[in-house]
Homo-oligomer: A and B are copies of this chain.
């Protein structure tokens, strides 16, 4: 999914507004600001990362939290919370995995491998399988 960022944000925003209407949720300027900011990024921002941007549009921290929650509930983004640090949000909802750099904490998307992981042997219904790779990214390896 290497779309032109402008287009990605525009289509994502339209999708968001459509889903809000479906769910009878008002489309507020604050929610629009949060959605646009999240969609414009591929670096899995934290709430504070998003807030640093949208506060300039007059959005409060609490509203940033609530808007992100709404966005996840509508299926336009996912939480990715790996190491007990702050929660991060990923607007890429297609199947993929993550690489976490142990040095700088950056999270990168990793292409999904269809040749997949066998479901576990235990007695449970698996809905989702995700793989986390940890190591050192190119920027931190010198």
Contacts and interface: CB of A to CB of B under 8 A. Distances in A.
A121 B138 CA distance: 12
A108 to B, nearest CB: 6
A25 interface: no
A122 interface: yes
A130 B127 contact: no
A38 B86 CA distance: 25
Interface in A41-59: none
Given A83-B81, A118-B116, A124 B111 contact: no
A115 interface: yes
A133 B113 contact: no
Interface in A95-142: 97, 99, 101-102, 108, 110-111, 113, 115-138, 141
Given A110-B120, A113-B117, A120-B111, A131 B134 contact: no
Interface of A: 79, 81-84, 86-87, 97, 99, 101-102, 108, 110-111, 113, 115-138, 141
